[in-house]
Structure 1
Amino acid sequence: MKLPFLFGALLAASSALADLKPVWQIDGFKMPESVVYDEQRSQYYVSNINQGPLAVDNNGSIGPIDSNGKAHTLEWVSGLSSPKGLALKGDYLYAADTKELVVINVEEGKITARFPAPEAVVLNGLAFDKKGTLYVSDWAGNKIYKLEDNELKVWLSGKELESPNGLVVKGNHLYVASWGLNPGADFTTDTSGLLKKISLKTGKIENLREKGNDAWMNLDGLHPIDGGWLATDFMKGELLTLDDKGSIKSSEKLAPSAADFFLVEGQDLIVVPYLMANKVVAYKYEK
């Protein structure tokens, strides 16, 4: 797959000054899409897409950063294709890798399992529920998968998912950061994205704001905070604070291609991968 023409413009704009205060920055990643923090081992894991975001090309990787942002390894675990969303559970790191879910033993630094989803278009966001069940979004395929009995199965599908990206399980619901309907080659959409709430029991989908009643957004990363949510708008390069109804309370400027961030709440730190700028930046998050 050739890179969309928009990527050049995103890269050119990625030097824009951020309103948030940078704490550290590491350059040299290969299209980093997602970051997750491993508190037990005091390090971050970063997914490197490396070229085509939808490609099954075996050139993607996972690279760690130490907790101080002073050292990193680009290709700690290779053999992936275009890994995006990450989730950590115990000694295992899960990566959404286009048409499969990849499991990595972080103590050994080795891939231990692969769960195929051949009909998926591009697996993206990950979230565990309290029982340990893993949910996986298919961004361009308008599906949500569930890892069950060692098999990745479609749990929910339909255009009403509107390009599901970031996922969070909270209580008895799965919350979805949607990108918007019908993303094109340049990632623009026919409709604005929005926050969705899905019952884990019934699969009922609820939009948390009425369309047209808020600013346009293309949501990527998602994290719960008191009274609402933090989300990244990939296209505009903004960190959005949403209320519990999914409407924008405030926004702070990052830069275009800000993807699936991680909030380290104990340190008040937001770590943001910039897909097209090939860098990861940590910012001080002032509530």
Structure 2
Amino acid sequence: MKIHVCAATLAVVTAGLLALTPPAARKPAKLTKVWETDTTLRTPESVLYDEGTDVLYVANIDGKADELDGNGFISRVSLDGKITNLRWTSGLNAPKGMGVYKNRLYVTDVYRLVAINTATGQVEKTWDAPDSKNAFLNDVTVAKDGTVYVSDSRFDKIYRLKNDKWEIWMEGEQLNKPNGVLAVGKDRLMIGSTKIGALRSVDVGTKIMTTIADGMAATDGIVPEGKGNYFVSDWNGQVFHVNADGTKEQLLDTRTDKINSADIEYVSRRKLLVVPTFFKNNLVAYRYE
């Protein structure tokens, strides 16, 4: 009987000590380079994965970011880094952000939003900004119900295309030069405010804006990692992992090599983070570990 009592006491003491032991520190995340494309891309600003076609679309500016020169084009790239169709859609000006919904690829093109048929690569429809001379449309995101949101990073506006109605949905200096946008469900919009280097959340119903994380310089792309976490790029050459609680971790820094990190994409089933390098004219893909 005495032996049983001692064993029970020991078990209680051991359990107490385990409870006091701090959990093992989380292993720092890292990016490991997997592949990079050749350099036939031309000022790639944005990359987007389309699950329906299982390809990466790349928006190539091929010139100045606000030039109406007709040199811009969209490329298709495989998930192993092969450029399968360099000029899948051409005749654009300076295409940037993209979003896909069903069989339509939405692309910003300086002063307009362009819809491209993903089966044919042909432009189906365009929507011009009301004041086309004072517009710099940048990123695109599509909510689950098909609502399209578009940022204007020069003139502090967010446009919305809903039920074929194209309108200025939100505007003002409080947006602080919105660049990256990401629809989360039907009721939340994530915005990367470039002017203040912050990731912010907007309630679609009330338009109340909350800062999630800051200190990320010139925020560009925003993509979900899962469980409320995000990857956020800084155009200057950084990529951050931002947790749901607002804490962040720098995963990539290529600033000393003068390699930009523009509007990124994350293919979750492959844990593949794809970075357009802008002036270096290629994509670089990393495994997130």
Q: Which residue of 1 aligns with 2:142?
A: 128
- Asked if the contact 1:86/1:126 (under 8 Å) is kept, the reply is yes
SS of the equivalent of 2:94 reads coil
| Aligned partner letter, 1:178 | S
Which structure is richer in relative contact order (CA contacts within 8 A, separation 6 or more)? 1
2:216 & 2:183 partners in 1: Cα distance? 24
Choose from 193, 203, 208 the match for 1:204.
208
Choose from 91, 101, 112 the match for 1:100.
112
Q: Which residue of 2 aligns with 1:145?
A: 159
- Asked if the contact 1:239/1:254 (under 8 Å) is kept, the reply is no
- Asked if the contact 1:20/1:253 (under 8 Å) is kept, the reply is no
1:35 & 1:70 partners in 2: Cα distance? 14
- 1:157-193, CA deviations, whole angstroms, 9 ceiling, x for partnerless residues? 001101111111224211101111xxxxxxxxxxx31
**1:25 lines up with 2:36 in the alignment:** yes
- Asked if the contact 2:197/2:215 (under 8 Å) is kept, the reply is no
CA radius of gyration, larger in = 2
Q: Which residue of 2 aligns with 1:8?
A: none
Q: Which residue of 1 aligns with 2:248?
A: 248
Structure 1 gap segments, 5+ residues each: 1-18, 181-191
SS of the equivalent of 2:63 reads coil
1:55 & 1:93 partners in 2: Cα distance? 22
- Asked if the contact 2:153/2:178 (under 8 Å) is kept, the reply is yes
Choose from 274, 284, 288 the match for 1:285.
288
- Asked if the contact 1:162/1:193 (under 8 Å) is kept, the reply is no
Deviating beyond 4 angstroms after TM superposition, the runs of 4 or more aligned structure 1 residues are none
| Aligned partner letter, 2:32 | K
Worse-matched range after superposition: 98-107 or 37-46: 37-46
SS of the equivalent of 1:58 reads coil
SS of the equivalent of 1:94 reads strand
1:60 & 1:230 partners in 2: Cα distance? 27
1:251 & 1:268 partners in 2: Cα distance? 14
Give the alignment's Cα RMSD to 1 decimal. 1.7
1:177 & 1:137 partners in 2: Cα distance? 10
Choose from 41, 47, 50 the match for 1:35.
47
2:64 & 2:130 partners in 1: Cα distance? 18
Map 1:165-184 to 2 at 5 A.
165-171=179-185, 172-180=187-195
1:247 & 1:161 partners in 2: Cα distance? 21
Aligned residues: percent identity? 33
1:130 & 1:107 partners in 2: Cα distance? 21
SS of the equivalent of 2:174 reads helix
1:123 & 1:72 partners in 2: Cα distance? 27
2:32 & 2:129 partners in 1: Cα distance? 40
Map 1:54-69 to 2 at 5 A.
54-69=66-81
Q: Which residue of 1 aligns with 2:9?
A: none
Structure 2 gap segments, 5+ residues each: 1-29
Structure 1-normalised TM-score?
Answer: 0.83
| Aligned partner letter, 2:77 | I
Worse-matched range after superposition: 61-70 or 242-251: 242-251
Q: Which residue of 2 aligns with 1:270?
A: 273
Q: Which residue of 2 aligns with 1:183?
A: none
Q: Which residue of 1 aligns with 2:94?
A: 82
